[in-house]
Amino acid sequence: MKEELCIKCKGKGLCGRPRCPILENFKSVKSSFPIISGNSIFGASPPAVFVGSYGYPKVSAGPLIPPFVKSKEAAFLEEPSGWGNLIIEDIISMRSSLVRANTTFNVKEAPGKENPLLLKAQELALSKTPVDTEAWFFKAPKQELKFDSVLTPMGPAGLVKNFEIAENPKVPKKVDYLVYDTDALAKDAALELYRSEVAPEQISRLFSIGLLGKKRKLVPTRWSITAVDDMAGKAIADKILDYPPVSEISLFSGTHFGNHFEILLLPRSYAFELIETWLPKTVWSGDSSWIGEDREGPDGKKQYSSLAGGYYAARLPVLEYLAGIKRQASVFILREITPEYWAPLGVWVVREGVRKALQNPPETFPSIEVAVSKLAGRVRTPKTEWVQKARMLSDFRFQTTLDAFF
Amino acid sequence: MLKAAINAELLKDSIAALAVIVDEVRFKISQEGISVKAVDPANVAMGIFELRAEAFDEYNADECEIGIDLNKISDLLGLADKTDTVKMELDENSQKLLIDVGGLSYTLSLLDPSTIRAEPRVPQLELPVKVVLNGLDLRRAVKASEKISDHMLMGVSDDTFYMEAKGDTDKVRLEMGRDQLIDLKSGDACSLFSLDYLSEIVKPANKANEVTLSLGRDFPILIDFEIANGAGKVSYLLAPRIESD
């Protein structure tokens, strides 16, 4: 198979195979699967729900339940911001304890009045804190993992006969209010939740299980994650256009699970460019390296990014940073994916990686040439291979602005 | 106060010419006509637009300023016939523009002008060279360049005006002598411009029989043309790329 196709597709199925062979390989990664005795499990859902995309519009969906895990420990399973000090193996083994209690639904069933299993999954998704849940399966769930480019790994899956929530979910006021608002568009509801500082994980959970918007539908989890990153990003980008530009050229740097980030802020109007360089032997690249680029100007992006969910996940934290310092900037990010990123962990790696890099103290530079040579020295891909794709860097150096002619 | 009637196609073209630069603009309205000055968010291109009272079939106005979302108005004009007359009336109390066209009456909410970027200052430039050519020729050269590069060079050597684009391996060049141009004031001029901007700018210029380019060396270009049979004017100022290495 063409390796280039794999890196662009990242498991979406562009090659026509029913299942992605790269992702199938990861299913059997050795991991500590939960012990499931008999056909039922009991544990505290973090809470988490999963909506598949395979077979759309008939998808499998349901809650994620870690057997024997208590409320106190469960929340951590859905909190990527706390995983900074773990290693990839830890994350896989931790997440493999999450059993998917699936049922097949049509996405249009989301208003959910008739289907009691969907109603219960929605009830669980509303909660801010873990919810004790018991599930009964037709057959004991299969001991295998689920990996995906956008999703965080998950454990065994089984077709569920029934499940029950054993305690009352704790529903934040704002969430309660917007879930009952069937006149607000999903986009506006999601934004309002984001502005009220509801965690993005919870927003995409509500969105995917069909609890937001006018015409409600189940939305596959991998789509809902990127949709929330994009909606939140767009809203901030609109706002920062009114702020003055940053005053100097600054560079942030950081590494997260084998993903290295170089983030350059340039004193110009808002624009965003991401270059991804995949070194050989990473999850999607096979034996050759691959370099991709995508960008947007102050008007934002019209089409879905060629760099897929990672583009929106990288953009959001920088925009949050700029909104925080009340400045705009032209933002250039180089993301280098090294072989140390050996298993796909989901786009949170990008979001958290950029967020973490922005917490490091920046270096400032008198000229873009110096900044770029510093940046290039810290990545393994030779500068000549990526620099001609970096439109923003050449625009910043060569494109004058009208202010220069007064 | 504003009460006016104007040909739909002319209004459509005027809106399209402004939309090249920004999505939201402040219209300055006076007894003499309507004018706009706007700069794009990246500060690279500026548009200066005026439509005098003579361009309208009917025009009555006092000095005021209104904020307009260009996408909204061009959407609604999309339904109008070329020969339709658009009637507009400003309701200052409710900040709405009432628009009548082709039997449809719209009430368009205006934007608060103070939320739109203020009118920019226009740099005073000494541009030694003037080239007057047909809008179609300009558009053709830009289209050819787009196929090869992201930038286009414009300049004059002796009595020849040239437009040139260089890609990694390929090159395209269009030369026009005095006899092919409508007018030429020769001098020292050679500047490079981003096609991202030029491609958009030449679209409205396409319809103009005479487009005036004012150029210098590594200096902004001023692109001027008339609309509404001389009762209006559109000018663009575009900052150059300066590639010294």
pLDDT tens-digit series, residues A161-219: 999 999 899 999 999 999 988 899 999 999 999 999 888 889 999 999 999 998 899 99
- Of B115, B137, B157, which marks where a domain is finished? B115
Q: Which residues of B fall within a CB distance of 8 Å from A268?
A: 42
Q: What does pLDDT average to over chain A?
A: 90
The residue-averaged pLDDT of A71-100 equals: 90
In terms of DSSP H, where are the helices of B105-181? 135-146
Q: What would the pLDDT profile of A364-381 be if each residue is shown by its tens digit? A: 999 999 999 999 999 999
Segments of chain B scoring below 70 in pLDDT: 244-245
A254 and A399 belong to one structural domain: yes
Radius of gyration, alpha carbons of chain B: 19
For residues B88 and B2, is the Cβ–Cβ distance under 8 A? yes
* A232 in a structural domain: no
Inter-axis angle of helices A391-398 and A368-377, to 10 degrees?
160
* B120 in a structural domain: no
* A188 in a structural domain: no
Assigned token pair, A255: 């590494």
Residues 6+ apart with CB under 8 A from B170: B148
Which domain covers residue B184, as residue numbers?
129-238
> Does position A28 have pLDDT exceeding 70, yes or no?
no
Q: Write down the pLDDT at residue A142.
A: 81
- Of B88, B115, B142, which marks where a domain is finished? B115
Q: Write down the pLDDT at residue A255.
A: 95
> Does position A18 have pLDDT exceeding 80, yes or no?
no
Assigned token pair, A394: 């050449």
B147 and B72 belong to one structural domain: no
* B49 in a structural domain: yes
* A330 in a structural domain: yes
* B156 in a structural domain: yes
Sheet with strand B232-238: strands edge to edge: B64-69, B24-30, B33-39, B45-52, B232-238, B221-227, B211-215, B129-133, B183-185
Q: How far is A328 from chain B (nearest CA, A)?
A: 11
B137 and B94 belong to one structural domain: no
* A143 in a structural domain: yes
Name the pTM for this structure: 0.86
B228 and B148 belong to one structural domain: yes
Q: Which residues of B fall within a CB distance of 8 Å from A299?
A: 23, 41
* B122 in a structural domain: no
Q: Write down the pLDDT at residue B164.
A: 95
The residue-averaged pLDDT of A378-390 equals: 93
A253 and A398 belong to one structural domain: yes
- Of B80, B115, B150, which marks where a domain is finished? B115
For residues A207 and A188, is the Cβ–Cβ distance under 8 A? no
- pLDDT band, residue A111 (cuts 50/70/90): confident
- pLDDT band, residue A146 (cuts 50/70/90): confident
* B244 in a structural domain: no
Assigned token pair, B8: 């739909």
What ipTM was estimated for this complex? 0.89
Q: Which residues of B fall within a CB distance of 8 Å from A401?
A: 42-44, 239
B202 and B105 belong to one structural domain: no
Q: Write down the pLDDT at residue A32.
A: 67
Domain count, chain B: 2
By Cβ distance, the residue of A268, A298, A405 closest to B220 is A405
Q: Write down the pLDDT at residue A1.
A: 52
Q: Write down the pLDDT at residue A2.
A: 62
Domain count, chain A: 2
B230 and B182 belong to one structural domain: yes
CATH number for the domain including B231?
3.70.10.10
Assigned token pair, A330: 């032209």
Cβ–Cβ contact B120 with A under 8 A: yes
Which domain covers residue A344, as residue numbers?
249-405
B6 and B109 belong to one structural domain: yes
A398 and A266 belong to one structural domain: yes
- Of A112, A139, A165, which marks where a domain is finished? A165
B7 and B61 belong to one structural domain: yes
The rounded distance, in Å, linking the Cα atoms of A175 and A180 is 9
> Does position A30 have pLDDT exceeding 70, yes or no?
no
Residues 6+ apart with CB under 8 A from A186: A207, A212, A213, A214, A216
The residue-averaged pLDDT of A215-225 equals: 92
A264 and A131 belong to one structural domain: no
